[in-house]
A and B are shown apart, each in its own frame.
Chain A
Amino acid sequence: MIMLWAVFLPVLAGVLVLALKDMEGNRRVLTAAFTAVLTAEAALVILAVMRGGSVTLWRLTDTITLGFRIDRMGGLFAVLTSVIWLLAGIHSTAYMKHEHDERRFYGFYLIVVGVLSGLDFSADLITMYVFYEMMTLTSLPLVLHELTKEAVFAGLKYLFYSVAGAFLALFGIFFLANICGDLQFAAGGILTPEMAAGKEGILLFAVFAMIVGFGTKAGMFPLHGWLPAAHPVAPAPASAVLSGVITKAGVIAVIRVVYYVVGPAVIRGTWVQTVWMVLTLLTVFMGSVLAYREKVMKKRFAYSTVSQVSYVLFGLSLLQPAAFVGAISHVIFHSVIKDALFLFAGAVIVGTGWTRVEQLRGLGRIMPLTLAFYTLAALALIGIPPASGFVSKWYLAAGALASGTGVFSVAGPVVLLISALLTAGYLLPITIQGYFPGQDFDGREIEERNLAGKEPEPAMLIPIGILALASLLLGCFPGPILRLAQAIAETVF
């Protein structure tokens, strides 16, 4: 029952917010209710995950039932989602002061978290697909929010890519449903060789279609094009959750397909695995390079997401326990870090209106503390020990070396390393130029606008702080997370 509340409470609350036009004028009540619901949601999710269990929602047809079942994997993602959502939500109460249509934003923001919980709790592939589509549609207004021409185009791009990906995946679902009958998740997969007898070729194609299809949400090449367009145009808190959490919905979908339905054994050593690895490595590399060359701050972060989420996918594609642990932990770490980065960007935009990287010179004079948090997160993302990114990358690299995938077991770590260098290259200059603007920096603008020392308000700063510190602490004490990931890995392999 609690898990139902965890899914439907935010959805209902969101609909209510959208429906109640009177709340437009009453910010205080609105934000209070908003925060309260988010907090309740986080609590509910944690409670539900602790309780576990399963529930059947609805019989869609005589063969398709919709249902929830909480396992460790879903629970992990759900908790992560709801906590990050809460933090970004708090940030947004401050950020959205400066935006129009606040109520609409809150409404959809709430709905999406409910939908995401549903996605994480899904007991079978079809339920997950239902929530996956819902997520696309309900998160669309967040992308569109600014309603500039650019935002609308980006929104449509987001929609079309997502839908295209979903339908690609749907092909696989159709096929799997046809040969398996029932698509309940089970660790290690439900597909037996007899089911696919005679149809191996199409089975592999279907699995590949699903990986690419769900990989769309995770920004995997070749369907990554929407991500750099859509994330930056959204309001910063929305960008944060889009980048930090919603991309992970693609990841969990891929995990569910590969490790819970098809089973890693089926694709190990096939062309699917090879192509998948190639695609992820390509994405990792390409994302970093593009991020390095990008001048707009949010876009740079978005490209960074492209690259980083593909670390996770690469880890998954190795089909190896250690890499799997690395991937799972990187999911968590990247969510935390990327949220911190985007929230930082939001704080900067609200505080200064600056959006391009070269404008950020001297930022240390304005918001030194915020910039410090940023630096912390950046270091974690690059993977400097003992920050969190290091742990996950270590496991990824170790897994790759142990995976026995021939050239990829070496190429993988190399690409990761190059990417890490590039990450340093595109993140650290902000810190450096922020604190050390150099001799030629006149700083007149800061003077004129009286910006010096103006840290963002607490509602913004605190979430950034929490996330940044978390990115450090999780790296220092990764034990619980790693244990959990290992436990999951043991079940799926």
Chain B
Amino acid sequence: MSFVQNFPFFSIIIAMFSGIVSSVISGKKARNLSLAAIAVTTCMSAAVLAFTWRTGESYTYMMGHFPAPWGNEIRAGVLEGLVALMFGVVMFISVMGGLDHTEKDVEPGKLNLFYIMIDLMLSSLLALVYTNDLFTAYVFVEINTIAGCGLIMIRQWGRSLSAAIRYMVMSSLGSGLFLIGLSLLYDVTGQLLMIPAKEAVAQIAASDTYVIPMLVILAVISVGLAIKSGLYPFHYWIPDTYAYATPTASAILSGLVSKGYIFLLIKILYRVMSPEHLMEGYTLDVLYWFGIAGMMMGSIHAIQEKDTGRMIAYSSVAQIGYIYMGIGLGTLGGTTAAIFHIFSHGATKALLFISAVGLYEASGGERDYLSLRGAGYRNPLAAIGFTVGAMSMVGFPMLSGFISKLLFATSAFENTGKLLPTLIALAVSTTLNAVYFLRLVISLYRPERKKVGGVRRDSWNLRLAVVCFILLNLVLGLFSQPIVRAIGQGLEMFD
């Protein structure tokens, strides 16, 4: 057994322990520790990716040498490594970019609390990525929820608090459904580890018994995770949550958190459920159509929105719709596209949130998009960042959004029945994206109506983050081939 194979476990533990340690040290130190932890775990994820890429197969990692069904397992393959790496990168840049704002927004004594939440978030995301055990997944889902809530409410203003409580309520609902789904699954199969559970499910499917309970399980788990990831029409907690948190939190929440749940869902769908159940139960169809509805409605809400943050947040609703649409296609290509879009959207949305902050700064803290007029001249870099993000969102070639659009569209050809709806939904949604994002971009470059007071130059780390995200976008847009191949390989390893 190679030493590298320990890395998934190490990275989860490192993140968690840095959280625990942070509770007793000062905010500054906690910050440094947190950054270091993210950096280290990211490197580890890269190592895991490289390792599994080289060996060409995934491995399971037994915790404490308890075999199934009692033990607790971690599983790492190319896909897990890749997702963990992406999460780490986005997280690192987001945290780095928001450093100053975090210090400003958070009460001085509670800075370490914030970084505890970041660490917990990291560890729970990694755990969701790596875990091979459904109940562990549930526990980390809850940890993730708590960390997310903490990130939101750390900013002590009314909107954050109310957003946090709504987030908690919705998340709890989702968790509850997820939990009951797990319990039912356990009841039916007697397994909690994914691989034995899959065998059991396959047996059940072959014996043609428990049809309805299996459907219920599938539905409950899907709905639970859909609520948690904000699929339309369970989205209404999203705008406030994303829009009113501190920049780092916004970027992480919108870019990563919901993606962790989606990745978990993909894992459950492909590693636990049998294809027969997926196909007969129309679950995928439901996800697909809700995804498309989300693409449309999210964008329409965004168009009606004037507040920039909420607009971007509603755009997330639309983008999550894309991902569910990809999953709902029920093909390898569709899932590949969905996973690639997880990356692409993570990079882009974080970029948008971070650069939007730069624009608020340059406009005296106003967030209304009409008040951002002329911000493009006052803060050129942030405006360029925002423009690049927006262009990526509308699928400009050479940026990441184009590739995910392309993947969605080409994968639609594998599923003839959903081909036309997918293509047209993509086109319409792109157009709608253009409406609200580019409206804002134009606004940025128009001369201001009145002189804006209190313009503050943003800090170097915000700028660095913007540049990094732009580069990340370009990398995803121009060198997507290996990434997509890795996703494909990882998906093959699922079985």
Q: Is there a contact between chains A and B in the complex with CB atoms less than 8 Å apart? A: no
